[in-house]
Structure 1
Amino acid sequence: MPKECFDLPDDVLVQVLLLLPTSSRRRFRLVCKRWRDLVDERTPERQSRTKILTFFAERGEFRALVFDDEGGGGRRRAWTFACSTATATIDIVGTCNGLLCLHETSPSSSINAGSSSVISVTNPITGETRVLPPLPTQSQRESARFGKYSFGYHPITGEYKVVHIPWRRRQEVDVVSVFTLGADTTSWREVPVTAPGASCSEYCLSEVVSVDGVMYWLTAATNRIMALDLGDERVTWLDVPPPVRADLTPEKGGRWRLTSVHARLGIAATTSWGGVEVWVLDGRPRWARGRTLPEPPGHHGSSSWWMKAPRLTYGEYAVTESWLWGSGRRRTQLCRHKVGSLIDGDDGRLLPPLPEGVAELVMDEDGGTPYYSEMKTFAYVETLEPLPGY
């Protein structure tokens, strides 16, 4: 394109960009550095600070809480999601650009009938919700109980997609199911998988992680990571870093997780003394050993719990969780620790210990009864953008 086509004053170009849908502005960030800076600095959704969203079950309720990342324990938003039946449960699949993807499961009254499964995408700010159609009937029973869902966005195509990766006892699958949100989408599609061993692990705590338009998951054999590009929908694979491969066994599945580290795919592996060793995938792609996080004070080797997922870092901060007990009640606290960049370390150089009293409080919630599900943390930005195809 001729250079003069871009020679518009900044104010004029900003006004043109503001006329576009939010999803289109995200794609126009890729044109050049000038356009990226204008979108980042002078459009409303980019001026909104990224917040921390937590999701967990408490006293039979399924809640999403949003907190500023500036500390202080101040709650910005709180949403409670109701189940369709008294025995159903709700989990969060993921967040993308202010949209939440939820997964409700309900046990059947018949032993042989398995479970029912409902996926929905919602914008809690506008109240818009879209319930996706069920997976194909022939795989519904197996898929409701086994396998994992993921929710992702491709920055170039601007499409939102929900993906289901099945788990099967033979440990290999030949297709994954994909649903693209949009006006013309009415059903799931099957995407062929030619790479061997593509079934996701049933044992590991790690969820499917979506980073920059690619979804990653650990195979059931726990020796490689599968990658689904949401643009061309090709499935490829990469090896797990050799130094941590020995710990990627079903018996040790809770000792490591796939996670997002500074907007890159990362592996956070628990050490024997309670710290977390970080590995990050660079652009070649190649695994680079990052810095090692020390155990926060008061956790005593329980790093599989304080290490939050599926997002480990928020800017220069890592988020940790702790519980405080008293009089039969529990308070749940979420704190952030300034750790700088975890990918500029010198071959796993240990960060200085996190001293007592320097963590910044993000969340301080009275948990009430002891019942508690694992808390998940996500990045969240409020948006008024309508759901695709709504």
Structure 2
Amino acid sequence: MADEALLNLPTDAFVEILLRLHSRKRWRLRLVCRRWRDVIRERTPAPSRPIPLAFVVSYNAGAESACAYAIDDLEQGRCRELWRRHGINMSDTALVGTCNGVLCLCDDTVPGGAVSLVNPVTGETLAVPPPPGSAQRAWGLEMAGWHAAYSFAFDTATERYTVLHVPCYYDKTGGFNAVQVFTTASASAAWRDVPVHGGGCSCCLKAGIVSVDGATYWVTKGVESVVSFDLREERVAFTKALPRRDERGYAWHLAEVHGMLGAVSTAVDERRTAEKIEVWILGNGRGWSRRYSVQVNGVCERIARPHFAHGDHVLLTGNNINRLVCVHRLKNAMRRWQSSEVLSVRVFCLCIKKEKK
């Protein structure tokens, strides 16, 4: 009866309820029925497209600082500074992730990693306590840094931010039986262990940990299967094996592509530029399918992580010390996606450079 009453609400009252919801959550309700779809499209504003955010730690005029820039116009390369903090060493602080403009930073100089959430607009900062046991010996984490074992996510259903810690370096084998979860706005506001059922798990930190659409994903060691953690149900599940690429010298890295989980094939040695970057996406129940094939011949760049595609553009970063953020406009040519114009934005000194390929 309650469901029937909700479906038969007067349109004006229904619109008032919809306007109180988060825009992304409201937009998903279009799938309930045809009437809801029409009302949401005609009477409520559509969710705005996310603006790419670049986090840069740079050295300039004898001083180091961390900056966050919003790239407002990908076509023209216009960006604006949102936040800056001085006295941050280039090799010490890393960006774990960003959600709704909130930055999740990790200080790698602190054993276990010191995680903090920063709102660039208000300047508010929330220091996240270290996970229990995170300061113990780190097996196999010397090159990656403490930040590599964390992920940052936002669940639109509960409107809560979650920091996930994958403790794959606690044991020499890289295995673990539980993941550690910290959720903001909860009553306890403390780390919780969520067990991994079915014999434990492992994580390849080089493949990255990425959060997409209410779930966090990582790749197991050796077998290279994708594992998911559902933020709402707090459940770990094995998803799919990675796509196969027979060529040598390439490795997979997880990324977010248009709101879906992506697997990006790049050069194993990041100092060497891959001739072609392949991007695959995981469809709902349909397995992996190739979405992009980006040619980067003659351009010394690597993929921007964790968000790769923005509308008709992809973002790459320069391998050099100039910390370029490069925007590639894509074109569809016989089902083959490749870059045409290259627009390089030297964000930390606000100098824009255009090139032609």
TM bucket (normalised to shorter chain) is 0.7 to 0.9
User: Is 1:337 matched with 2:337?
Assistant: no
For structure 1, which runs of at least 5 residues remain unmatched after alignment? 108-114, 369-390
| Alignment match, 1:53 | 53
| Alignment match, 2:228 | 227
User: Is 1:279 matched with 2:280?
Assistant: yes
Choose the corresponding residue for 1:77, options 81, 92, 108. 81
Change (3 A) 1:313 1:41: farther
Choose the corresponding residue for 1:313, options 296, 299, 309. 309
Task: Give secondary structure in 1 for the equivalent of 2:25.
Answer: helix
CA contact (8 A) 1:332 1:367 kept: no
Percent of aligned pairs with the same residue? 29
Instruction: Write 1 or 2 for the structure with the bigger share of strand.
Output: 2
1:128 Cα deviation after fit? 2.5
Q: Deviations over 1:45-84 (max 9, x none)?
A: x55442110112111222211111442122233312356x
Q: Deviations over 1:332-375 (max 9, x none)?
A: 242231246xxxx99xx533x534xx3355x233669xxxxxxx
Q: Deviations over 1:250-275 (max 9, x none)?
A: xx5x7431111221111111379611
Choose the corresponding residue for 2:254, options 246, 254, 258. 258
C-alpha separation between the residues in 2 aligned to 1:154 and 1:312? 20
1:308 Cα deviation after fit? 1.8
Please tell me the residue identity of whatever aligns with 2:197. T
| TM-score normalised by length of structure 2 | 0.77
| Alignment match, 2:167 | 166
Choose the corresponding residue for 1:185, options 168, 185, 188. 188
Change (3 A) 1:71 1:221: same
Q: Deviations over 1:105-160 (max 9, x none)?
A: 225xxxxxxx2522122222222322112211x33234696551001122333332
The within-5 A match list for 1:22-61 is 22=22, 26-33=24-31, 48-59=48-59, 60-61=64-65
CA contact (8 A) 1:67 1:76 kept: yes
Change (3 A) 1:116 1:225: closer
Choose the corresponding residue for 1:359, options 342, 347, 353. 342
Task: Give secondary structure in 1 for the equivalent of 2:135.
Answer: helix
Choose the corresponding residue for 1:140, options 135, 139, 148. 135
Q: 191-200 vs 92-101, which deviates more?
A: 191-200
User: Is 1:106 matched with 2:109?
Assistant: yes
1:210 Cα deviation after fit? 0.7
C-alpha separation between the residues in 1 aligned to 2:179 and 2:247? 28
CA contact (8 A) 2:72 2:80 kept: yes
Please tell me the residue identity of whatever aligns with 1:332. L
1:16 Cα deviation after fit? 4.0
User: Is 1:350 matched with 2:336?
Assistant: yes
1:227 Cα deviation after fit? 0.9
Task: Give secondary structure in 2 for the equivalent of 1:2.
Answer: helix
1:330 Cα deviation after fit? 4.1
1:235 Cα deviation after fit? 0.9
CA contact (8 A) 1:123 1:129 kept: yes
CA contact (8 A) 1:54 1:64 kept: yes
CA contact (8 A) 2:243 2:288 kept: no
Aligned length: 328
Please tell me the residue identity of whatever aligns with 2:126. R
Task: Give secondary structure in 2 for the equivalent of 1:140.
Answer: coil
| Alignment match, 1:129 | 125
Change (3 A) 1:149 1:219: same
Change (3 A) 1:43 1:118: farther
CA contact (8 A) 2:27 2:47 kept: no
Change (3 A) 1:242 1:262: closer
CA contact (8 A) 1:261 1:312 kept: yes
Please tell me the residue identity of whatever aligns with 2:54. T
- RCO higher in structure (CA 8 A, sep ≥6): 1
Change (3 A) 1:172 1:323: closer
Task: Give secondary structure in 1 for the equivalent of 2:316.
Answer: strand
C-alpha separation between the residues in 2 aligned to 1:193 and 1:82? 40
Change (3 A) 1:366 1:155: closer
C-alpha separation between the residues in 2 aligned to 1:62 and 1:366? 9
C-alpha separation between the residues in 2 aligned to 1:222 and 1:121? 34
1:39 Cα deviation after fit? 6.2
